[in-house]
Amino acid sequence: MVRALVTGITGFAGSHLAEYLLNRKDVEVYGTVRWRSRTENIEGIRGRIRLVECDLMDATAVDQAVQKVRPDLIFHLAAQSFVPTSWLAPAETLMNNILGELNLFEAVRRAGIDPLIQIACSSEEYGLVHEDEVPINEDSPLRPQSPYAVSKIAQDFLGYQYFRSYGLRVVRTRTFNHTGPRRGEVFVTSSFAKQIAEIEHGLAEPVLKVGNLDARRDFTDVRDVVRAYWLALERGEPGEVYVIASGRDYRISEVAEMLLAMSTVPIRIEQDPSRMRPSDVPVLLGDSTKFRRRTGWEPLIPFEKTLADLLEYWRARVAYEAPRRGSRRAYGSATNATNADSADSGDTSASASTSTRTSASTNSSDGNSVGDSSIASGASGGEGEGGGDDGRGRGRGHGHGGGDGDGDAARSGSGGNRR
């Protein structure tokens, strides 16, 4: 048996990785968790993993965790991973992501162990990519467009430096967008899927709030990504960096259309200015030839299935949570959502006659519709859910605290209520 330590095990990728490792049967799975971490993503496997309480910002705690586990493998996924949060809280993003990793590396050195260490870096590091530069690979220039991207470049290069200076066996993975069940609701695919599920459930008017639909992203299913993380340590070369990507990009407008095509009710698209970013990365399309050649990895799950599974996840979750938060069917029945009745909400913009699956409109939210209220819990009116660990709190404003992309944030300190 090998011992694997997963930082950010309660997060999106972390929980899928833990499941993958458990299924291998040859791995003892440990994970770092903070006292305030939400654990719903790992409830199903709680009895089969060992949790070690540790805030990565606390060097002493990290020392103790590493000494206790003495891992053979470390998967470092914990991070503040939502790009818009990094404009609202740049210092916190930089500190969490960089110092958390530094503490981990130093703890490994002090413990005198020699684990293989995977670092979850990001395609966001490439930032501004010109049309004639895609697909991008390990040698493409890094032109970061957000504090988050800068934090990931720092993590990436810190990994390289610790390999060169101290021989730490670090393998860096620059993963492109990934999604699937449990994706935090602030990220685009989950944001759209959750809104659709709420609309189907009669909890919101039939309007999908969107940000920049022109961006292009290369999506891989999270279950394929976590297998790649395993292979990165099993077959990757320490000191190296690898792109992990599907090699196919979709415009965000296409992603919206694909999800809307799976909806049981007609929904129209509306742009929400609060979802636009100070600078958005226009295109991220990856070339993972180096990783595929080295490890034999290839993604197996088609994007259509990933989106279908994600929508099913949100349908189940919305159905489960709706009665618990005292929601009412403010917008008619699931099969009758076009017959939107605005009486409950005072929202006069929910009009059946304007519903269509395709029209994109710059007509922004009225800002006070039911979708903005606690009833719909952030289905519209800004990406908004904060809550530190996983972006599922109740705050509004543009997505402060969404930290589950790479894993549970190393440290939150910033709920979703900052406005």
Q: Give the span between the Cα atoms of 182 and 313, in whole angstroms.
A: 7
Tell me, residue by residue from 24 to 43, as one string, x for binding to ligand GDD by CB under 6 A and - for no binding.
--------------------
Long-range pairs for 22-31: beta carbons < 8 A, 24 or more residues apart? 22/48, 22/49, 24/230, 26/1, 26/2, 27/1, 27/2, 27/3, 27/73, 28/1, 28/2, 28/3, 28/4, 29/4, 30/3, 30/4, 30/5, 30/6, 30/69, 30/71, 31/5, 31/6, 31/7
Between 277 and 329, whose beta carbon lies closer to ligand GDD? 277
Interacting residues with ligand GDD between 267 and 306 (CB under 6 A): 275, 277, 280, 284
Q: Which is nearer to ligand GDD, 30 or 314 (CB)?
A: 314
Q: Which of residues 219-258 bind ligand GDD (CB under 6 A)?
A: 252
User: Structure tokens of 77?
Assistant: 């996924």
- Two structure tokens written together for 26: 């040859």
Out of 62, 168, 210, 232, point to the residue binding ligand GDD (CB under 6 A): 210
Q: How far apart are CA 75 and CA 279, in angstroms?
A: 30
Q: Which stretch binds ligand GDD (CB under 6 A): 48-56, 62-70, 160-168, 213-221?
A: 213-221
Q: Please select the residue that binds ligand GDD; options are 211, 236, 299, 416, rule is CB under 6 A.
A: 211
Q: Tell me the sheet residues that pair with 171.
A: 118
Q: In the complex, what is the shortest distance from the CB of residue 281 to ligand GDD, in angstroms, rounded to a whole number?
A: 6
27 vs 175 by CB, closer to ligand GDD: 175
Q: Does residue 186 belong to the site contacting ligand GDD (CB under 6 A)?
A: yes
Task: Please tell me whether residue 124 binds ligand GDD under the rule CB under 6 A.
Answer: yes
Closest C-alpha among 222, 305, 253 to residue 16: 222
Strands 250-251 and 216-217, bridge-based pairing? antiparallel
Among 10, 15, 122, 140, indicate the residue that binds ligand GDD (CB under 6 A).
122
The CB-of-128 to ligand GDD minimum distance in angstroms stands at 13
Minimum distance from residue 48 beta carbon to ligand GDD (Å): 27
Q: How far is the CB of 139 from ligand GDD (least distance, A)?
A: 18
313: its two tokens: 């996840």
* The only residue of 96, 97, 173, 191 in contact with ligand GDD, by rule CB under 6 A: 191
Contact 57, 378 (CB under 8 A): no
Cβ nearer to ligand GDD, comparing 130 with 164: 130
- Residue 182 Rama label (left phi>0; alpha psi -120 to 50; beta): left
The residues, ordered by sequence, that sit 6+ positions from 239 with a Cβ below 8 Å of its Cβ are: 160, 163, 164, 169, 170, 171
φ, ψ of residue 134 to 5 degrees: the values are: -90, 150
Size of the site for ligand GDD (CB under 6 A): 25
Residue that the structure tokens 């730490």 belong to: 168
Pair type for strands 2-7 and 27-33:
parallel
When binding is defined by CB under 6 A, the residue of 332, 405, 407, 416 that contacts ligand GDD is 405
Nearer to ligand GDD, 153 or 233 (CB): 153
Report CA torsion sign: 245, 250, 252, 258: negative
Which residue, 156 or 200, is less far from ligand GDD as judged by CB?
Answer: 156
Q: Which of 217, 223, 292, 317 binds ligand GDD (CB under 6 A)?
A: 217
378 contacts 385 by C-beta, under 8 angstroms: yes
Does 86 engage in binding with ligand GDD (CB under 6 A)?
A: no
Q: Contact letters (x/-) for ligand GDD, 363-402, by CB under 6 A?
A: --------------------x-------------------
Verify binding: residue 64, ligand GDD, rule CB under 6 A: no
List contacts with ligand GDD (CB under 6 A). Answer: 81, 83, 122-124, 176-177, 186-188, 191, 210-213, 215, 217, 252, 275, 277, 280, 284, 383, 405-406
